[in-house]
Amino acid sequence: MKNKDENIAIVDIGSNSVRLFIFSIEEDRAEQISAMKFFCGLGKDLGTTGLLHPEAIIATHEALAKFRHEISQYSIRTELVIGTAALREAKDATSFIQDAKKRSGFDIRIVAGEEEARLAALAILSGDRQASGVVADFGGGSLELAKLGSGKILSKVSLKLGAHYLKSFPDRNQIIDSKLQQTLLDYPEFSEPENLYVIGGSWRSLAKAYLQDAGRDISNLDKENFGKEITGFCRKIEKMSPADLIERYAMEMPRAQLMDVSAIMLEKIITILRPEQIRVSAAGIRDGLAYDYILSQRH
């Protein structure tokens, strides 16, 4: 490490939420010391309009201003600011990025889909350096898949199968089936993994709801192993209204509104990939970015 002890700020501008994380970097470990999250929905209508949602643009700029204030409370040497699927796809992404630079001083880097898949894989490796299996990261704008073998990233792909995108299509089941089946033809190594590591706030909320119904502890999600029986719970969740999900499981409204699509996606991935066991990770792209930074400082 060049710097033995330092703080870094990570800003993740996603299709559904905008997040800030401040990490303390000590040797080869990243400890999260602050976090902020706002559901803005930049990618809400992207599938039909090709543009960022107008109200979400305003909300995101407001969130970034709050992030800038929060960062000012710490001694920060490095800022890692990324935009994912919504900013990759939107026709007005460039103007948004320029405005963000003027308003809050953030230099936003758009990450390519395969790079996002790599960061998702690193998120899992940050907690288990010898992890093996398939990583699936489901967000508002895309689905990333990566194959891990004994701590190495063997292959990766990004699919345009995000929650906001799929919500625009009544035939979403057929779209998911077709794209996942084609992906297995192109990447047969994704089939029948020992472990399926699932990442994403919607899937974490779904897993917690499953544990709640089963009367199990929801505080140690990373330590739980889920079997294929969770697909039955996914089918139940698909049929519940957002109001019912909020009342029964205390879900946040933006999560509840996308839960039907999130449940369909998890059910399809488990059914098509046929993993031996499913692990729902508390990690996210933030952890992949922090770990990637640590690795970069070793040279």
pLDDT along the chain (299 residues), means of 10: 73 97 92 97 93 98 98 95 97 98 98 98 97 97 97 97 91 95 97 97 96 91 90 97 98 96 98 97 96 89
Burial class (CB in 10 A: 0-12, 13-18, 19+), 185: exposed
Domains with residue ranges and CATH for the chain: 5-110 (3.30.420.40), 113-280 (3.30.420.150)
pLDDT at position 168: 86
CA 277-281-287 angle, to 5 degrees, is 140
Nearest residue to 269 via CA among 184, 163, 169, 171:
184
pLDDT at position 1: 37
* CA distances, 116 to each of 72, 113, 119, 206, 288 (Å): 27, 5, 5, 22, 9
pLDDT at position 296: 93
Is residue 45 within 8 Å of 51, Cβ to Cβ? yes
Nearest residue to 196 via CA among 137, 153, 238:
137
